[in-house]
Homo-oligomer: A and B are copies of this chain.
């Protein structure tokens, strides 16, 4: 049923992947892939090595495009590495990451439905392929809002004078990536971003490091709030199943500054829960980590695309949670060689972990972690 009228063009771009478009520009399909292969070395605080491993940390396929009209777009992403599958908590090998449909009725307004990232902390929203450390921070791991199935609204505009503001909102299941439990509760998330000095070059507020060496200072300040009603998992959208349900409130603020190869990122997250400690009949405990997360990271990129970065991360539980969990500090130094932007790069980092509230339940320990990672993709 296809004929010459359906002829399509084929493009291959080093950062934008494979592009198939109908000659009349009504259809466009884009494909990309990437992999992150890693070596990890772990030791105790005295430097005795207790863990050596290699792994494929991420192996992703993704597609986006428009179908029939440029303001009707889709996007999907699959992740095939074990570390992405969340088997431990979901109970199944969950390869589906994004599957979302967007409609843009006006230049500034975008409506979405399906599964994708919630507008939470910036580091989580930035692709794992565009980070400046081998992986995101412990604060992110503990408090991020992750992905969820729901409806999404984005409004992006500028004030007179060039100050950009972005408003983002979502109503979603609150149970996370296409989870197998539903109830009468939903999650409500909103976020505001202000860019007082206008847009970053090449949308640089959504990749880490000042790879473009901004010619004038750029700043983005953001605040977000999420109310997760009747959450069933320890982190709302992530984590193990609780033994009961709990409402979860998460307040997030982050700030990003870039100028002349220098980048500074900081985020602060505070989480409260109505019922943080849940028990089963055997009195086993599963808890919502109520408390605060702080992550600060700074970097400088040399003109030869070699970047050095440092990070400080702290997670601190509320008083009430101290029976169950730990307060942890992490100190990380990193070096990244960008061979082709974030698409082909070599990364290495070294982390020292300091566990403040040690307890037997968790067996968290002080120690060192060294990582070396190679990423390739298009």
Residues of A at the B interface (CB closer than 8 Å) are 1-3, 6-16, 18-22, 26-27, 29, 33, 35, 37, 39-40, 49-56, 59, 63, 67-68, 72, 74, 76, 78, 80-82, 85, 87, 91-96, 99-101, 113-115, 148-151, 172-173, 175, 178-180, 182-186, 339-340, 343-344, 374, 376-378
Q: Roughly how many angstroms separate A11 CA and B91 CA in the complex, as a whole number? A: 40
**CB pair A56 B99 closer than 8 Å:** yes
Residues of B within 8 A of A11 (CB): 2-3, 6-8
Q: Which residue of B lies closest to A31 (CB)?
A: B29
**CB pair A51 B99 closer than 8 Å:** no
**CB pair A12 B21 closer than 8 Å:** yes
Other than A12-B21, A51-B182, A56-B114, give 13 A-B pairs with Cβ distance below 8 A: A1-B16, A2-B13, A18-B29, A37-B100, A37-B101, A53-B173, A59-B96, A67-B340, A68-B340, A68-B344, A72-B344, A78-B80, A82-B179
**CB pair B51 A183 closer than 8 Å:** yes
**CB pair A68 B14 closer than 8 Å:** yes
Residues of B within 8 A of A343 (CB): 67
* Known contacts A19-B2, A67-B376; A115/B37 CB under 8 A: yes
Q: List 25 A-B contacts (CB under 8 A).
A: A1-B13, A2-B16, A12-B29, A14-B68, A27-B378, A35-B74, A35-B114, A37-B115, A51-B182, A53-B173, A54-B150, A54-B151, A55-B173, A59-B99, A68-B339, A68-B344, A78-B80, A81-B96, A81-B99, A82-B94, A82-B96, A82-B180, A87-B91, A101-B374, A101-B376
**CB pair A54 B149 closer than 8 Å:** yes
**CB pair A374 B80 closer than 8 Å:** no
Q: Roughly how many angstroms separate A282 CA and B336 CA in the complex, as a whole number? A: 50
Would you call the interface of chain A mostly helix, strand, loop, or mixed?
A: strand
**CB pair B6 A7 closer than 8 Å:** no
Q: How far in angstroms is the closest Cβ of chain B from A348?
A: 13
* Known contacts A29-B12, A67-B378, A92-B82; A39/B151 CB under 8 A: yes
Q: Which residue of B lies closest to A175 (CB)?
A: B53
Residues of B within 8 A of A74 (CB): 35, 376
